[in-house]
A and B are shown apart, each in its own frame.
Chain A
Amino acid sequence: MSIIEFAISPDFRFDSKANRYRWRDTNKFAPKQAILARTRTYVDNQKQALVQLGSDLSDGKIDLIKFQREAADIVKSLHLSQAVLGCDGIENLKPRDFLAIARELKKQYKDGKDSETGKPFGLKWLAQDIKDGNVSRAQLLNRLRMFGDASKISFWLMKRQAALDGGMSLARRILNPDAENCPDCYAYAQMGVKPIADLPLPGERCQCRTQCQCSIEFV
C-alpha cells in the first residue's frame, strides 16, 4: 500500500457507545472532515451498487424478490448516510431524525406521488412495472439512478431541522448558476426569503425532480 493510498483509506472504526468514529490504532476520535469525506464516497458507491442491482436483475442473476429487498436496503443506507452528511456528522443524528428518514423511505418504497404528474412512485411501483414487462434495461437503470439521487432529500431534511433547532425561521432558494434550472426552481428563487415551511426543499415540487441542483440558505 502506498502512502497516498493510506492517506485516503484511514483505518477508522465506529464506536457505537460514543457514537463517534475513532482511529483504530490510537483510539483517538477521528477527524470529522475525514469521516464526512468517507461518507460522501460511500454515498457514491451505494448509488453505483443500486444501478448494479438493476443489471443483476436484468441479467437474471437475482429474482424480483431479492431485487426489491436489496434495493430497499441500499436506498435506506443512502438516506441514512445523506442524513449523516446533512446533520454534519453521525454524532448529531437524533432519534426524531430517524423518524423523518423513515417517513421519506416510505415514500421511496411505496407511498411516493409525483408532484408534477400525480402518479405514484416507489420501489413497489418499479417492481410492478418490471413484472408487467414495461421496463427496459435502460429504463430500469435510469430509474434506479433516480432513486439514488433522490436520497439527497434526506440531506436537506436534516439541514432544515438543524436550522429550526438553531432558531432560524427563514430560508431562500439558491440556484446553481452552472445548472439548467427548471421554471419551478426559478420561481422559488424569485420568492426571496420566506418562512422555512413555505419553501420546498431541492428536488421537491419541481420539474428537475432528483436532478435539482439548487441549495437552500437558512437565515
Chain B
Amino acid sequence: MSIPEYAQQTIATLYPSEPTNEGLIPAHEAELAYQLFSELGTVPEFTSFAFTCREQLLTGISDFTESNLPDPAALDFEQLRKVQESFVRYILTSGTKGFKDGIDEIQFESNPLAGRFIDRRGDSDRVFSYEISNELGAWTSTVRAVSGVSEDPTFSEVAKPEEVMTLKFSESMSNDRFKQIVTATIREAFEDDAVLTSDVEPVGDGNGWKCTYKSGKQEFTLEWDGTEFTKAPVIGGDFAEPVEADGDLLDDDEYDRLSEISAADYLKTANAIVE
C-alpha cells in the first residue's frame, strides 16, 4: 500500500506517538495506521473523531464507549463498532509477532479487549481467541488457537525464541525435533502457517542458522545470526505450481558414461578443492 503524502501528514497529525508494541516496524506500522485511519474516514468530522479516538486508544479502550464520543451525531453504533474492530485489528497485527495471515472476522461482545477472530481458509476456518491489555502505555496481545489448527501437530509445539537462541548449530540441528522448534518459532515470530522447506543450516561460527520456509504460496529465507532475524522473500517461489522445464531426458547409457570417473574428473575435483 502506498501512502499518499496528504495521508502521511494526517497520520503524523493523528499518530505522533504510536502504541509502543515492542518491535514495531515503522513502515509497517504506518500502513496499519493508514488502514485504521481509512476505516475511520477522511471527512473532516471523522478526522476530528479519529483524533479523539487516538487519544482514547492510548489511554485505554475500556473508556471508549458510545457515551463519550466527541460528536455522537456524527457516528452511529455500527460506526463505533467499526472503529473498535479497527483498533483490535491494528493491535493484533502490529509488531513482529503480530498475526499476519489475515483476520477475516472479529467477534467480541461489549468489551473489544477480549474476543475471538477467524481466519477463513477455504473449507475450514481457523478460530483464535485474543486478549488485549495495556500496561504503562504499551499495548500487548495474546492469541491462542481455539479450533481449526489442532490437526497440525507442530502448531501445538511450545517453542520460545529463547530456546532456539540458546542452541548452537551441530549436525543434530537438521533433525526433526530441531526443525519443529524452528518451525514453531517462526510461527510465533512471523507467519503462523510457516512450513520449513529446507534443513536448518549453520551460519557463521555456529551460533546462527538459516533455513527457508513457505507461508501461503510465498517462500522466504530466514537467517538467525545469533542476535537478530533477517528475512527475505524468495523471488519466483511458487509451491502450487510444478516446475516446468524444457529439454529431454538422458538415456541410461549416458548416465553410465557420466558415472565413470576419469582422470579429468579426479583432477578437476582435486583442483577445485583449493580454488
Contact = CB atoms under 8 A, between A and B. Distances in A.
A142 B197 contact: yes
Interface stretch (B2-10, B225-233, B260-268): B260-268
Contacts of B266: 80, 98
A80 B269 contact: yes
Nearest to A39: B273
A178 B170 contact: yes
A76 B255 contact: no
Interface string B239-275: 1111111111110100110111100011111111110
B274 A69 contact: no
A38 B273 contact: yes
A162 interface: no
B198 A145 contact: yes
Interface in A82-121: 84, 90, 98, 101-102, 105-106, 109-110
Contacts of B247: 63-67
Contacts of B272: 42, 77
Contact of A38 (B174, B238, B240, B274): B274
Q: Assign chain B's interface to a size class.
A: 35 or more
A128 B177 CA distance: 32
A4 interface: no
Contacts of B204: none
B245 A67 contact: yes
Contact of B243 (A76, A90, A130): A130
A103 to B, nearest CB: 8
A113 to B, nearest CB: 15
Contacts of A12: 274
A153 to B, nearest CB: 14
A102 B258 CA distance: 9
Given A84-B273, A102-B261, A124-B250, A57 B243 contact: yes
B172 A102 contact: no
Interface string A36-77: 001100100000000000010111100111111100110011
Nearest to B258: A72
B48 to A, nearest CB: 51
B258 A76 contact: yes
B176 interface: yes
Contacts of A3: none
B205 to A, nearest CB: 12
A110 B243 contact: no
B131 interface: no
Given A109-B255, A124-B249, A140-B243, A213 B175 contact: yes
Interface of A: 10, 12-14, 16, 21, 35, 38-39, 42, 55, 57-60, 63-69, 72-73, 76-77, 80-81, 84, 90, 98, 101-102, 105-106, 109-110, 122-124, 127-128, 130-131, 133-138, 140-142, 145, 176, 178-180, 211, 213
19 contacts: A14-B271, A21-B274, A42-B272, A60-B246, A66-B247, A67-B247, A76-B265, A77-B269, A80-B265, A102-B261, A124-B252, A124-B255, A130-B242, A137-B239, A141-B198, A145-B198, A180-B176, A211-B175, A211-B199
Given A60-B244, A102-B261, A213-B172, 6 more contacts: A77-B268, A80-B265, A130-B243, A137-B238, A178-B175, A179-B172
